[in-house]
Structure 1
Amino acid sequence: MSSGTLLYDALGPRAGRRVRWFGVVTGAVTLGVLFLVGEKLATEGQLSADKWGPLIDPANPRFSTLWSFLAGGMLNTLIVAVLAIVCAMAFGTAMALLRVTSQPWYRWFVVSVIELLRGIPVVLLIFFLARVLPEIGIEFSTLTFLVMGLALYNGVVIAEIIRGGLQALPRGQKEAAQSLGLSSWHTLRLVLLPQAFRMMLPALIGQLIVVVKETSLGFILSYEELLRRGQIAIQSLHNPLQMFFTIAVIYIVINLGLTLLTRRLERGARKKAPGTPADDKTPAAPLPSPAALPEVRV
């Protein structure tokens, strides 16, 4: 095994040539497919300035109006995402704590609620809240119903993530805290839960990215988030392909930003974690000379 690899040996000359040829062929096939798709779109008139102008040409008379309209949709999307993320984190943390601290006589109820909400599709959950609750006299705004559906569904997923993080901690952490006289609640709040959050941070941020994407389900309630406003704009611009492509790029940019934030938070949490090795630039303490060591008599 070579010094630069951990799980496999370095490729030999034949294998290296095979991998390079495979990369060349794959790239050529990809370029060919893109060329055929572009040619087909050009033939169908999908690359014309009339369809792309309102989206990418500032000189187009509809450009500023369209992007002001879409900016309002992006703001509504971010409002729903922030509210749903906060509520899902609070609800998920509470459910995780209830599950790990519940007594046997009511644990079945907590587990049943978590499994029920996990098993219901999020679209059906949002539709149920918005259509059934008003029938029994519970009235909320469309924004509230959308946030409730996203928070309940993603909250139970976050609860399972946090529970997994708590169970993955070494048993000695709990025993050491209890040996210091901490109660079960203080042990969970001060010792176990912060470590579980730090350990499961990538999974938690990944679930929050899912929440941002699921805000697009607001169209079933006619809530004017980004996707819904894009659909409204299509009715006058008649460019569904171009509009949906632009909206997809916006979602990719938002989620890419969250991914970069995840990596930065993960690096920061790793540096703050107890037992983290010191920075390589920090000079090591000099070892004592043999003359300074105490004499040991046998």
Structure 2
Amino acid sequence: MSLLFDEPGPRARRRIRIATVAGTLAALALTALAIRQFGANGQLATERWEPYATWPMWRYLLTGLWSTALAAVATAALSMALGLLLALGRLSDRRWVRAPSAAYVEVVRVVPALLLVYVVLFALPRYGLDLPLFWKLVVPLTVSNAAAFAEIFRAGILSVERGQSEAGLAVGLTRAQTMRLIVLPQAARRVLPSIVSQSVGLLKDTSLGFVVSYGELLYSGRVLANYNGLLIQTFVVVALIYLAVNASLSKLARTLERRSAARA
């Protein structure tokens, strides 16, 4: 059973099924209406979609996808490293370590990532800190996502039974060795699905790269649409690429969650 909410009863499950069916039908109706409008305005004409059956178009978009992947991987690596340090800081016995870590997490979690991007883009250069284009996107996303990863790691550490730490201390390990050799490996396995799910959101956050003119997928699509005038077709293709990538990561998260549950 979930620790976040009560298991729904028969009536609640029936209402959920009815709402799901109604929402699905509404989405299908809106999709059909949109397709009809596109057809009425000539947006479904073959000649407007033919350019996306050519390799140069896909090479340009895949280059943007590669830039998106680079930014996402760099942000994920830095965010997880900083998030782990913050999680350990929040669990520290020393108040001078615990208080700043908690303050960072609580403050940054409520600050929009876009605002952090604007700070790096406009505020820091006034003080002589003008970062390269790549880091103008990666740094604010790292600052933002580190708080989320910190809470994920902290939850994973707290989920490990207290007896595991006590056993490590009983055989002569220090607290640091117990955390590194016993607690963290178990916590990492438990939070792996949550890490993948957070990475999906992180990947979508890289679309903020258009603010700093970083050549990620959405910015590449915008440039391409301005060049060929195929606005709707371009952004439909870009949306499908995002959908394929995020759906794959979401499926990976669900697979890892099922395996973790089965192992438990």
TM-score by length of 1: 0.76
Distance in 2, Cα, partners of 1:234 & 1:130: 25
CA distance 1:262–1:52, shift in 2 (3 Å): same
CA distance in structure 2 between the aligned counterparts of 1:113 and 1:249, rounded to whole angstroms: 36
1:45 positional shift: 1.1
Structure 2: stretches of 5+ with no match in the other structure: 1-6
Q: CA deviation at 1:228?
A: 0.4
Matched, 1:96 2:93: no
Q: 2:59 aligns with which of 68, 71, 79?
A: 68
1:174 shift after superposition: 1.6
Number of the residue aligned with 1:227: 218
Distance 1:206 1:234, change over 3 A: same
Whether the 8 Å contact between 1:51 and 1:237 is mirrored in structure 2 is no
Count of matched residue pairs? 252
Partner Cα distance (2:30, 2:190) in 1? 42
Letter in 2 for 1:159: A
Is 1:54 matched up with 2:70?
no
Once residues 140 and 169 of structure 1 are traced to their aligned partners in structure 2, the CA distance between those partners, rounded to angstroms, is 40
1:37-186 correspondence to structure 2 within 5 Å: 37-55=34-52, 58=53, 63-186=54-177
Structure that is richer in helix per residue? 2
3-state secondary structure, aligned to 1:200: helix
Counterpart-to-counterpart distance in 1, 2:151 and 2:161 = 18
1:215 aligns with 2:201: no
Which residue of structure 2 aligns with residue 36 of structure 1?
33
Q: CA deviation at 1:27?
A: 7.5
Query: For the residues of structure 2 that align with 1:75 and 1:27, how far apart are their CA atoms?
Result: 33
Cα pair 1:51 1:238 within 8 Å, conserved? no
Work out the CA distance in 1 between the residues paired with 2:212 and 2:234.
21
Whole-angstrom distance in 2 between the partners of 1:248 and 1:265: 26
> Could you report, residue by residue, the CA deviation over 1:95-153 in whole angstroms, capped at 9, with x for unpaired residues?
11111125123422221122222121101111211222222112321101211111111
Structure 1 residue 170: deviation in Å? 2.0
Aligned-residue Cα RMSD (Å) equals: 2.6
- Report percent identity of matched pairs: 32
Asked whether the 8 Å contact 2:210–2:216 carries over to 1, the reply is yes
Deviation digits for residues 147-205 of structure 1 (CA, Å, limit 9, x no counterpart): 11111111111001111121222222222221122111111111111121112222111
Q: Is the 8 A contact 1:222 1:228 kept in 2?
A: yes
Check conservation: 1:130, 1:142, Cα contact below 8 A: no
Amino acid at match of 2:171: L
Counterpart-to-counterpart distance in 1, 2:26 and 2:209: 38
How many angstroms does 1:65 deviate by? 2.4
Question: 1:81, CA displacement in angstroms?
Answer: 0.8
| Superimposed CA distance per residue, residues 76-105 of structure 1 (whole angstroms, 9 cap, x where no aligned partner) | 111101111111111111111111125123
Is residue 84–residue 150 contact of structure 1 (8 Å, CA) maintained in 2? Answer: yes
Whether the 8 Å contact between 2:89 and 2:97 is mirrored in structure 1 is: no
Shift of 1:44: 1.0
User: How far did 1:252 drift?
Assistant: 1.0
- More moved, 84-93 vs 233-242: 233-242
Structure 1, unaligned runs of 5 or more? 1-5, 10-14, 277-298
Query: What is the CA–CA distance in structure 2 between the aligned matches of 1:187 and 1:88, rounded to whole Å?
Result: 24
Tell me what 1:292 maps to. Answer: none
